[in-house]
């Protein structure tokens, strides 16, 4: 049995992480489904993980769980400072993340998903009607707030600037996304990644890929992934982004940028961010009051 830490391959990580999800040992058929790898690949990887001492009798061992620790998400940073102007009139008196949909605040679905993944270090970057976020403390007393003083003059890069030293091993989430499948927030991540919904055509922000990683970010495209505002940044990328965010923010026109364009456009080539596919049934962004009424008929008055 190996006693030294082993650098897992992506496929070894995928299988080991899939095995960590419950007390019952998943079959290799189930691992094929969970990982997207072929049955022969799963079988081959299981043999290697057994040799490492990370798997025994089809179950993950304490050593296997320790091997996953370097990949654990340590914190979540919510970008929640904006006006939510497209959801007027509801957002005239309520920040968009606190708007209730079918009786539940939008942001609660995201916070609950993070907690389910074992992420309890949670920060919310607030600005517009910021004091209203204090209500979250009754349900989530562990939340810490970060003030964004530039929310009324800068794009969401201002929020990233305010939280730039907290981006290592962290999820960075737009706080106005309604989550239906909490499992899209993972306890372990092999590398930096962003959620994307495959589209044959979209007029929204989208990502083209090369070998599964972000190649280009743009508005509108064919056969691409529509970008979902949930990123995970590993330690190296989070530290690098702290400096690049500052550089971009302080440059002419920098305050008009979205923070995501810093790694995907402004410093393209410095980052290797995997696109992690998800489905429209997993998550939805409510952009307009019309869309809100379609989801929650109590607003249709």
> Sorting pLDDT into bands at 50, 70 and 90, what band is 286?
confident
pLDDT cut 90: percent of the chain above it: 83
Nearest to residue 132, comparing CAs of 102, 164, 158, 99?
99
Question: What average pLDDT score do residues 11-39 get?
Answer: 89
> Sorting pLDDT into bands at 50, 70 and 90, what band is 76?
very high
Report the alpha-carbon distance of residue 111 to residue 102 in Å, rounded: 17
> Sorting pLDDT into bands at 50, 70 and 90, what band is 4?
low
Q: Is the pLDDT of residue 58 over 90?
A: no
| pLDDT, tens digit, 9 for 90 and up, residues 208-260 | 999 999 999 999 999 999 999 999 999 999 999 999 999 999 999 999 999 99
Over its C-alpha atoms, the chain yields an Rg (Å, rounded) of 20
Q: Is the pLDDT of residue 80 over 80?
A: yes
Higher pLDDT residue, 91 or 179?
A: 179
Report whether 231 contacts 194 (CB < 8 A): yes
Distances (CA, A) of 2 to 6, 47, 83, 289: 8, 14, 53, 57
**How high is the pLDDT of residue 1?**
45
């Amino acid at each position: 049995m190996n006693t030294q830490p082993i650098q897992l391959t992506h496929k070894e990580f995928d299988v080991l992480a899939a095995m960590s999800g419950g007390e019952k040992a998943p079959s290799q058929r189930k691992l094929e489904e969970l990982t997207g790898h072929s049955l022969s690949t799963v079988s081959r990887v299981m043999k290697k993980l057994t040799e490492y001492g990370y798997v025994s009798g089809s179950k993950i061992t304490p050593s296997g769980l320790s091997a996953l620790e370097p990949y654990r998400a340590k914190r979540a940073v919510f970008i929640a400072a904006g006006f939510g102007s497209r959801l007027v009139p509801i957002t005239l008196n309520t920040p968009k993340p606190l708007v209730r949909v079918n009786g539940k605040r939008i942001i609660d679905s995201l916070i609950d998903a993070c907690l389910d993944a074992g992420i309890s270090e949670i920060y919310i970057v607030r600005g517009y009607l910021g004091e209203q976020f204090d209500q979250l403390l009754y349900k989530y007393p562990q939340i810490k707030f970060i003030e964004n003083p530039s929310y009324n003059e800068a794009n969401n890069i201002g929020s990233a600037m305010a939280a730039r030293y907290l981006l290592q091993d962290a999820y960075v989430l737009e706080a106005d996304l309604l989550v239906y499948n909490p499992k899209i927030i993972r306890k372990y991540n092999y590398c930096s990644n962003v959620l994307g919904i495959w589209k044959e055509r979209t007029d929204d922000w989208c990502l083209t890929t090369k070998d599964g990683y972000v190649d280009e970010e743009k508005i509108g495209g064919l056969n691409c992934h529509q970008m979902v505002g949930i990123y995970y940044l590993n330690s190296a990328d989070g530290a690098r982004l702290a400096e690049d965010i500052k550089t971009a923010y302080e440059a002419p026109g920098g305050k008009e940028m979205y923070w995501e364009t810093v790694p995907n456009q402004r410093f393209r080539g410095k980052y290797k961010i995997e696109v992690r596919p998800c489905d429209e049934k997993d998550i939805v962004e409510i952009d307009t009051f019309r869309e809100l009424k379609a989801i929650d008929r109590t607003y249709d008055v």
